[in-house]
Amino acid sequence: MAKDEMPKSDFRDAILWHLTYTLGKDPDHAQVFDWRLALSHAVRDRIVDRWMASTRATYRADAKRVYYLSMEFLIGRLLQDNIVNLQLADQAQAAIESFGLDYRDLLLDEPDAALGNGGLGRLAACFMESLATLGCPAYGYGIRYEHGLFRQSFAEGRQMEAPEDWLAQPYVWQFERPEARFTLGFGGRVVTRDGKPVWEPENFVQSEAYDVPVIGWQGAWANTLRLWAGRAVDPFDLGRFNAGDFTAAAEAEALARTISRVLYPEDSTEAGKRLRLTQEYFFSAASIRDILRRFEADHADLRLLPQKVAIQLNDTHPAIAGPELLRILHDERGLPFDEALAITRACVNYTNHTLLPEALESWGEGLFGELLPRHLQIIDRIDAEDAKAHPDRRNAARGEGRVRMGELSFILSNRVNGVSALHTGLMKTTVFADQHRIWPDRIVNQTNGVTPRRWLHGCNPRLSRLITQTIGDGWVGDLEQLQALEPHAADAGWLEQFAAVKAANKADLSDWARREHGLTLNPQALFDVQIKRIHEYKRQHLNILEAIALWQEMRENPSADWTARVKIFGGKAAPGYFFAKDIIRLINDVAGVINADAATNEKLQVVYLPNYNVTLAERLIPAADLSEQISTAGKEASGTGNMKFALNGAPTIGTLDGANVEIRELVGPENFFLFGLTAEEAEARRAVPDHAARAVAGDPRLKRAIEAIRSGIFSPGEPDRYANIVENLTGADYFLVASDFADYWRAQREVDFAYADRDGWARMAALNVARSGWFSSDRTIRGYMQDIWNAKSLLGQE
C-alpha cells in the first residue's frame, strides 16, 4: 500500500495506512498505543464526511442552532462510543484481531476525558450524543482543561489527589481551529464617549478553539463540541528573552494558559474565586462571539437572532453569557437597551441542577466589578427595568453586596428548567418562588435522561444481545421499545437467560477486581453499589452505618440465613470538603475491619474502588444487583446514575428524591425498595429539637453502630478520628441520617429477603429494564427541542 492509495473501503487497510502514514510506525514495532491511535484515525475518517454533511445541511436550511454552554463535558472515552454509533464494532474487532491484538485491551488503552465533576457534566455528554442522534443542529461549548478531574488513590484509607493528564498523549478526536480565535478583555474601566458607555479592558487573552465531532446513533448526523483553550495575545516577549529573563519572556503565555489549565474540582462549595469567574467569562464570551459570528455571516438583522439561536446555560456557570450578549448587542451593535434585552431573553434558557444553597453561585460585587465592570452596570440596568415593570419583585440579580447568578440566569431567560418533576416543583416553591410568581410560565420541567447507546448497548453487550435477540434492535434508537420485553419477564426460560447475563457480568467484574486490585469478590453475593460524588446529602455514611450494623448482627448470630452481600463504593470528594473525605476514610477503615473478619466475610464484604470515573461506571453498572439512591429527600435534583442502574437491571433502594420518584412510578412500587422521609417530612423533621439524638436513642442498632465508630475499633489507637462524623450524626444531622436509619435498615432486609428468591429477583430486575425506556436522553432532548428551544430535526436532509 502506498501513501497516495489511502484505502476507503477496507477497514483493516485503513488502520494499517494510518499506522504507517499518519503515525509513522512500522507494524512490526507498533505498541497497543500505536494501534489504538491508528484505529481511532480510521474511525475518525468515517465521522468526518458525515460531520461535514451535517454542517452543510444546517447552512443550507438556515436552521435554528442550539448552543449548549457548559463548564463540564464528562465525555469519558470516545473510541468505543464512536465505533458503536457507526456500527463498526464487528469490523473493528475483526480487523484488530487479525493483527493478533486484543480488541478490548485496545479500547481500554484510551484515557478518560474527565472534563467534568459528576452528574451535570455527564448529562451534558449524554445530551450531545442525543442531539446528534436526533439530528438537531447543535454545538456544545466548553473548556479544554489540560487537567480534567483529579486522579484519586487511597493512602491508609485517605483520599489522595494527583493531576490527571488526558492530553499527555495525542488526542485524535480533536481538530485544532486556529482561525476561530477571539481576543477577550478583562478588568479596566468604563468610560463615556459620545454619551455612550465604552468598556476599556485592561488585560487580554485569546481563546483558541478545538473541535470534537459528536456522532449520533447509526452515524446519521454529527455535531460539534467546541472546547476553548486560553492563549496569550503576545505569547513570547523576545525583548525579555534576549535580555536573559527567559521565564519572564513566557509569562504572558503561562498566565493565559492558567485559565484552561484545571477543571474546578468542586461541585458544591465555593472556592478559587477569581480564577473561576475568569474561566466562566472566558468561555462564555468566546462562545457568544462565535455564535454571533456564525449568525452575522448570513443575516444582517439582529432581531432575527431568536429565530436562529437557542442558548442553553447548563447551570449558572455560563450565566455571564447573557449580559455579554446584551452588552455586544447594545454597546457594540448599537441596539437600544430594551431591544437588546428582549433579544437576549428570547435566546437564552437556563437549567438549574441543584437547590443546595451553598452550590448556588454568587460573586462579591467587588471582585465582579473589578473583572467585569461593564457587566455589573448592565446587570444593574436589567434589575432596574424589572423593578419598574414589577414593583413588588424582591429578588434582584444584585443584592446584599453580591451578584447572584441564579437570579441573573432566571431574569435573562426565556425558559428555566428543573431536571426532575420533584425538583422543578421545589424550584417553584423555594429558591425561585418570587420569580415564579412574577413569571409563572417560565419554569418548565425536563426530567434528565441517559444515552442508551453508551449506558446499555455499549457498556452491557451481553444484555444488549439478549434484548436484540428478543425484540429486535430498534430499541437502541427508540428506548421505549424495551416495553416489548415485559411479557418475557413472565417466561421462566427467558428469565434464566437474563439472570445468566447478570451472573456473567458479575464474574467479569470479579475477575477485573482480582487482577486490578487483588480483591476476591464473592460473585454469588448481592452486589450492592453506591457510586457518585461523595457528599453528605448523598449519604454514603448512611450506607456504611448500615454495613456496620449488619456486621454486628451477623457476628452475634453467625448461623442465621444471611443473604451474602458485597457493598461496593466509588466516588471522589472535593479536595476541600473535609467531612466528605472523612466519610471516604471511614468506609475504607470499616472495609478493612469487616473484610478481615473470618466469622462474617463470606457473607459481608465492603469494597471501595478508587478513582471512580466514566469507565469504572461502565464496568460496575452492568454487574450491579442493587442501586443505592439514598439521598435526603429534597436534595438530589434528579440523579442519572439511578436511571443507568434501572436500565441495566439493578432495582433501586431509595428515597423519594429527584428522579427516583419517577423511576418508582414507572417500574412499579413493587419493584423498588422505598424508604425514608419525604421531602416535606424531612423539612418538618429538621424543626424537631434533638431529632438526631432521639432517633439514636430510639434505635439500639443505630446506637451500637455509632458506638463502634466512637470506640475506635475502626481506627485503632485513634478513637477520635471520626469525632466529627459521630458528633454530626448525634447532633445537628442536617441530612437526617439518624432519622432515616431504621427505615433504611428495614428496606435492606426486604432486599435480602427478595434476593433470596432468585427467580423473583430476576423478574423484578427484568421489569426494571423493560420499564426504564422513558429515561433515554433522546426523550429529554425531544422535550427541550419542543418546549424550550423550538428547534427542528434535520435528519434526512443531510
Q: Which residues are identified as catalytic? A: 353, 532-533, 538, 640, 644
344: cell is 437576549
Span near ligand AZC by CB under 6 A; candidates 37-45, 56-64, 119-127, 772-780? 119-127
Nearer to ligand AZC, 152 or 464 (CB): 152
Minimum CB separation from ligand AZC for residue 651, in Å? 19
Residue 205: name the closest of 253, 276, 241 by CA. 253
The verdict on 315 binding ligand AZC (CB under 6 A) reads yes
Nearer to ligand AZC, 570 or 658 (CB): 658
Nearer to ligand AZC, 77 or 122 (CB): 122
User: What SS3 class is residue 681?
Assistant: helix
Span near ligand AZC by CB under 6 A; candidates 195-203, 234-242, 351-359, 594-602? 351-359
Span near ligand AZC by CB under 6 A; candidates 111-119, 381-389, 465-473, 744-752? 111-119
Bridge partners (DSSP) of residue 362 are 404
User: What SS3 class is residue 441?
Assistant: coil
The verdict on 419 binding ligand AZC (CB under 6 A) reads yes
Distance CA 156, CA 176 (A): 43
The verdict on 747 binding ligand AZC (CB under 6 A) reads no
Distance CA 646, CA 632 (A): 20
Per CB under 6 A, the list member of 39, 42, 51, 119 interacting with ligand AZC is: 119
Nearer to ligand AZC, 118 or 142 (CB): 118
The verdict on 637 binding ligand AZC (CB under 6 A) reads yes
Per CB under 6 A, the list member of 118, 216, 406, 622 interacting with ligand AZC is: 118
Q: Find cell 472495609 and name the residue.
A: 591
Nearer to ligand AZC, 108 or 356 (CB): 356
The verdict on 725 binding ligand AZC (CB under 6 A) reads no
| CA angle, residues 509, 510, 513, in degrees to nearest 5 | 85
Distance CA 630, CA 674 (A): 9
Residue 125: name the closest of 167, 84, 72, 165 by CA. 72
Could you tell me if 477 and 744 are in contact, meaning their C-beta atoms sit under 8 angstroms apart? no
Per CB under 6 A, the list member of 223, 362, 395, 640 interacting with ligand AZC is: 640
Could you tell me if 175 and 225 are in contact, meaning their C-beta atoms sit under 8 angstroms apart? no
Nearer to ligand AZC, 206 or 284 (CB): 284
Nearer to ligand AZC, 448 or 772 (CB): 448
| Class of residue 481 by CB neighbours under 10 A (exposed 0-12, middle 13-18, buried 19+) | middle
User: What SS3 class is residue 414?
Assistant: coil
Q: Within 466-525, which residues bind ligand AZC (CB under 6 A)?
A: none
Residue 634: name the closest of 442, 486, 394, 418 by CA. 418
How many residues bind ligand AZC, per CB under 6 A? Answer: 18
Nearby residues of 49 by Cβ (< 8 Å), 6 or more positions away: none
Span between the terminal Cα atoms of the chain, in Å: 33
Minimum CB separation from ligand AZC for residue 122, in Å? 8
| CA angle, residues 679, 617, 169, in degrees to nearest 5 | 130
The verdict on 699 binding ligand AZC (CB under 6 A) reads no
For residue 365, the Cα-to-chain-centroid distance in whole angstroms is 30
Nearby residues of 449 by Cβ (< 8 Å), 6 or more positions away: 126, 130, 640, 643, 774, 775, 776, 777, 778, 779, 780, 781
The verdict on 123 binding ligand AZC (CB under 6 A) reads yes
Distance CA 407, CA 400 (A): 13
Residue 341: name the closest of 385, 389, 282, 393 by CA. 385
User: What SS3 class is residue 12?
Assistant: helix
The verdict on 658 binding ligand AZC (CB under 6 A) reads yes
Q: How many residues does the chain have?
A: 798
The verdict on 323 binding ligand AZC (CB under 6 A) reads no
The verdict on 418 binding ligand AZC (CB under 6 A) reads no
Minimum CB separation from ligand AZC for residue 636, in Å? 5
Distance CA 223, CA 273 (A): 33
Span near ligand AZC by CB under 6 A; candidates 114-122, 321-329, 559-567, 685-693? 114-122
| CA angle, residues 458, 459, 461, in degrees to nearest 5 | 70
Nearer to ligand AZC, 114 or 637 (CB): 637
Minimum CB separation from ligand AZC for residue 436, in Å? 19
Span near ligand AZC by CB under 6 A; candidates 117-125, 136-144, 146-154, 717-725? 117-125
The secondary structure element, H or E, covering residue 427 is helix 421-429
The verdict on 643 binding ligand AZC (CB under 6 A) reads no
Torsion of CA 133, 139, 142, 145, to 10 degrees: 70
Distance CA 538, CA 550 (A): 20
Span near ligand AZC by CB under 6 A; candidates 88-96, 98-106, 352-360, 760-768? 352-360
Minimum CB separation from ligand AZC for residue 72, in Å? 8
Minimum CB separation from ligand AZC for residue 617, in Å? 14
Nearer to ligand AZC, 46 or 539 (CB): 539
Per CB under 6 A, the list member of 14, 227, 359, 614 interacting with ligand AZC is: 359
Span near ligand AZC by CB under 6 A; candidates 552-560, 568-576, 630-638, 747-755? 630-638
- Binding map of ligand AZC across residues 425-464, x = CB under 6 A, - = no contact: -----------------------x----------------
The verdict on 636 binding ligand AZC (CB under 6 A) reads yes
Nearby residues of 624 by Cβ (< 8 Å), 6 or more positions away: 527, 528, 529, 568, 645, 648, 650
The verdict on 638 binding ligand AZC (CB under 6 A) reads yes
Per CB under 6 A, the list member of 129, 146, 267, 740 interacting with ligand AZC is: 267
Could you tell me if 236 and 257 are in contact, meaning their C-beta atoms sit under 8 angstroms apart? no
The verdict on 536 binding ligand AZC (CB under 6 A) reads no
The verdict on 319 binding ligand AZC (CB under 6 A) reads no
Nearer to ligand AZC, 419 or 591 (CB): 419
Span near ligand AZC by CB under 6 A; candidates 115-123, 332-340, 383-391, 619-627? 115-123
- Binding map of ligand AZC across residues 18-47, x = CB under 6 A, - = no contact: ------------------------------
Minimum CB separation from ligand AZC for residue 429, in Å? 18
Nearer to ligand AZC, 207 or 448 (CB): 448
The verdict on 316 binding ligand AZC (CB under 6 A) reads no
Residue 215: name the closest of 129, 136, 139 by CA. 129
The verdict on 312 binding ligand AZC (CB under 6 A) reads no
Q: Which of 501-508's residues contact partners 24+ apart within 8 Å by CB, and which partners?
A: 501/460, 501/462, 501/463, 501/466, 501/649, 502/622, 502/623, 502/625, 502/649, 502/762, 502/765, 504/462, 505/460, 505/462, 505/463, 505/622, 505/623, 506/623, 506/625, 508/619, 508/623
Span near ligand AZC by CB under 6 A; candidates 476-484, 508-516, 633-641, 725-733? 633-641
Per CB under 6 A, the list member of 78, 84, 120, 456 interacting with ligand AZC is: 120
Minimum CB separation from ligand AZC for residue 70, in Å? 11
Minimum CB separation from ligand AZC for residue 537, in Å? 9
The verdict on 369 binding ligand AZC (CB under 6 A) reads no
Residue 635: name the closest of 740, 550, 789 by CA. 740
Residues that bind ligand AZC (CB under 6 A): 117-120, 123, 267, 315, 353-354, 359, 419, 448, 636-640, 658
